[in-house]
């Protein structure tokens, strides 16, 4: 049973836990594995508490309830003033707290689940149509134990959370020089779905060197891409400082349906054909007659590292079409030979432990699971996944957030060096053959 996988998505689990506080869910019982019987249910769940029970029906509804009371076969109503029922509308949870008399959970001995007294206005206020679409034909039933979310004893990646480390990482970027003399700046392409935080990452990194939170690239909340042009952003070392040796290239966000940057345009960007401020046309890829088109791009115009930007809160609910698009992009980039990284954003929104203290990022089992899932979905090693917290609400920078941001850039520069090493090796091999 170690391979028992929850049907409840991580985002749905997170929505439930948001009602409870700093807790996580551990799967105790799954009807399709243990059996749709009262005996199987009670064997797995009795005496365990608190719990969340979830039903899945043939109509596609996901619904259930929370109780702090341990399961039993007493047949009695039990008092629970914290009990609530819920149903999901998409990924959004609709909650129905206990009302009036709190003897709202009944333990039934021969049943595979606890029963709720659902007379409107008596214990809960809901309609059967809203809760489960009047369909109690269950295709799956799961019970989770609610456990307190705790940090791992030691981080699974080592990070030095000191001001000196922040200064060291900033100096590394300031003094970076590409391994090829004809190139003065590393060019990194940011690719990802709408709202994942591509523009916010540039703004956050820019904020590190400005010493306060700034917003140069257009960023915000929208269902469609706020970036409609291909933009190349140069970071500056302070308000009037020198340009830093890295260029972050921002693309129009990928979308499951409707307009978005296309695969052909991404390949043109990788090869260095696309000029800055090129206006994406979702219905037609870039043509050579576009103003500024580079017919014969040099190495300095090409992309030296690709970074997939993913929202940690949405990795587990990534639409299949988006996953297919990312896979197609990755395969094309593999053929070209450009190294690839995954930037996992919004880790503070995904995990209460990280929200409490960003230094918990590598102590959070949940964030590690999300990094592993991102690795699996995009087909890249876990060593290619780096988490960050972009600045979104703050007015002042935080040294620990800066260290995560700068560590991510440091990985990008390391991967860029791998690209230049590969270029040099290819040139050397050609000369050797000649």
Which CATH number covers residue 377?
3.40.50.300
Q: Residue 121 pLDDT more than 50?
A: no
Note whether residue 307 is domain-resident: yes
Q: Which residue's entry shows tokens 């850039």? A: 409
Domain boundary among 120, 148, 176: 148
Check whether residue 168 and residue 143 sit in a common domain: no
Check whether residue 186 and residue 77 sit in a common domain: no
Nearest to 183 by CA among 245, 137, 235: 245
Q: Residue 185 pLDDT more than 90?
A: yes
Domain boundary among 99, 118, 148: 148
Check whether residue 338 and residue 286 sit in a common domain: yes
Q: What is the pLDDT of residue 81?
A: 83
Note whether residue 359 is domain-resident: yes
Check whether residue 326 and residue 420 sit in a common domain: yes
Does 50 sit behind a cis peptide bond, omega within 30 degrees of 0 on the bond before it? yes
Check whether residue 188 and residue 273 sit in a common domain: yes
Instruction: Count structural domains, the chain.
Output: 2
Check whether residue 323 and residue 224 sit in a common domain: yes
Nearest to 194 by CA among 279, 257, 140, 131: 257
Q: Residue 29 pLDDT more than 80?
A: yes
Range of the domain at 257: 163-428
Note whether residue 281 is domain-resident: yes
Question: Could you say which DSSP state residue 339 is in?
Answer: -
Check whether residue 225 and residue 292 sit in a common domain: yes
Domain boundary among 100, 125, 148: 148
Helix (H) or strand (E) holding 169: helix 163-175
Check whether residue 167 and residue 137 sit in a common domain: no
Of residues 72 and 171, more confidently modeled: 171
**Residues contacting 181, CB < 8 A, separation 6+:** none
Strands, sheet with 23-30, edge to edge from the N-terminal-most edge strand = 23-30, 138-148, 51-57, 62-67, 84-89, 92-97
CA distance between the termini of the chain:
60
Check whether residue 326 and residue 375 sit in a common domain: yes
410: three-class secondary structure by DSSP: helix
Q: What is the pLDDT of residue 104?
A: 53
Q: Residue 321 pLDDT more than 50?
A: yes
Q: Place 429 in a pLDDT band, splitting at 50, 70 and 90.
A: low
Q: Residue 428 pLDDT more than 60?
A: yes
Check whether residue 127 and residue 224 sit in a common domain: no
Mind listing the pLDDT tens digit for each residue in 82-116? 889 999 988 889 998 877 655 556 545 444 444 44
Note whether residue 187 is domain-resident: yes
Q: What is the pLDDT of residue 211?
A: 93
Nearest to 51 by CA among 136, 5, 95, 113: 113
Q: Is the separation of the CB atoms in 306 and 341 below 8 Å? A: yes
314: three-class secondary structure by DSSP: coil
Per-range mean pLDDT, top range of 130-134, 189-193, 217-221, 252-256: 189-193
Of residues 177 and 284, more confidently modeled: 177
Helix crossing, 399-433 with 163-175: angle to 10°? 30
136-164: average pLDDT: 91
Check whether residue 231 and residue 113 sit in a common domain: no
Q: Which residue's entry shows tokens 């003065």? A: 184
Rounded Cα–Cα distance for residues 318 and 377 (Å): 9
Q: What number of other Cβ atoms are within 10 A of residue 304's Cβ? A: 28
Of residues 141 and 281, more confidently modeled: 141
46: three-class secondary structure by DSSP: strand
Q: Place 271 in a pLDDT band, splitting at 50, 70 and 90.
A: very high
Token readout for 225 is: 């891409």
Q: Residue 292 pLDDT more than 80?
A: no
Note whether residue 5 is domain-resident: no
Check whether residue 138 and residue 181 sit in a common domain: no
In angstroms, how far is CA 78 from the centroid of its own chain? 39
Note whether residue 154 is domain-resident: no
Nearest to 276 by CA among 251, 255, 307, 306: 251
């Amino acid at each position: 049973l170690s391979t028992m996988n929850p049907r409840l998505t991580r985002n749905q689990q997170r929505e439930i836990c948001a009602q409870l506080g700093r807790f996580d869910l551990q799967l105790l019982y799954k009807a399709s594995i243990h059996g749709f019987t009262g005996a199987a249910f009670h064997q797995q769940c009795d005496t365990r508490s608190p719990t969340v029970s979830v039903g899945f029906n043939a109509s596609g509804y996901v619904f259930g309830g929370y109780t702090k009371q341990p399961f039993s076969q007493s047949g009695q109503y039990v008092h629970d003033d914290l009990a609530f029922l819920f149903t999901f509308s998409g990924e959004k949870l609709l909650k129905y707290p206990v009302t009036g008399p709190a003897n709202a959970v009944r333990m039934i001995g021969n049943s595979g689940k606890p029963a709720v007294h659902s007379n409107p206005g008596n214990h809960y206020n809901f309609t059967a149509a809203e809760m489960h679409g009047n369909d109690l034909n269950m295709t799956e039933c799961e019970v989770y134990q609610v456990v307190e979310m705790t940090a791992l004893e030691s981080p699974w990646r080592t990070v030095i959370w000191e001001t000196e480390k922040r200064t060291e990482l900033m100096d590394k970027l300031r003094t970076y020089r590409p391994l090829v003399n004809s190139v003065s700046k590393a060019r990194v392409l940011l690719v990802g779905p709408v709202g994942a935080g591509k523009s916010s990452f540039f703004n956050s990194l820019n904020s590190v060197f400005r010493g306060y939170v700034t917003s140069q690239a257009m960023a915000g909340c929208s269902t469609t891409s706020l970036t409609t042009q291909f933009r190349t952003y140069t970071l500056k070392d302070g308000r009037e400082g020198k340009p830093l040796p890295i260029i972050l290239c921002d693309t129009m966000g990928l979308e499951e349906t409707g307009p978005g940057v296309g695969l052909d345009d991404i390949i043109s960007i990788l090869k260095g054909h696309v000029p800055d401020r090129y206006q994406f046309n979702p219905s037609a890829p870039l043509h050579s007659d576009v103003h500024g088109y580079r017919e014969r791009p040099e190495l300095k115009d090409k992309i030296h590292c690709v970074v997939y930007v993913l929202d940690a809160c949405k990795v587990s609910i990534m639409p299949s079409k988006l996953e297919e698009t990312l896979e197609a992009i990755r395969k094309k980039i593999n053929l070209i030979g450009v190294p690839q990284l995954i930037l996992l954003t919004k880790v503070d929104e995904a995990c209460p432990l990280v929200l409490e203290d960003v230094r918990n990022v590598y102590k959070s089992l949940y964030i590690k699971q999300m990094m592993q899932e991102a690795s699996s979905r995009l087909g890249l090693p876990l060593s290619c996944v780096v988490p960050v917290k972009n600045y979104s609400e703050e007015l002042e920078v935080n040294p620990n957030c800066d260290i995560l941001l700068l560590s991510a850039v440091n990985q990008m520069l390391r991967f860029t060096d791998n690209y230049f090493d590969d270029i040099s090796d290819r040139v050397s091999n050609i000369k050797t053959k000649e």
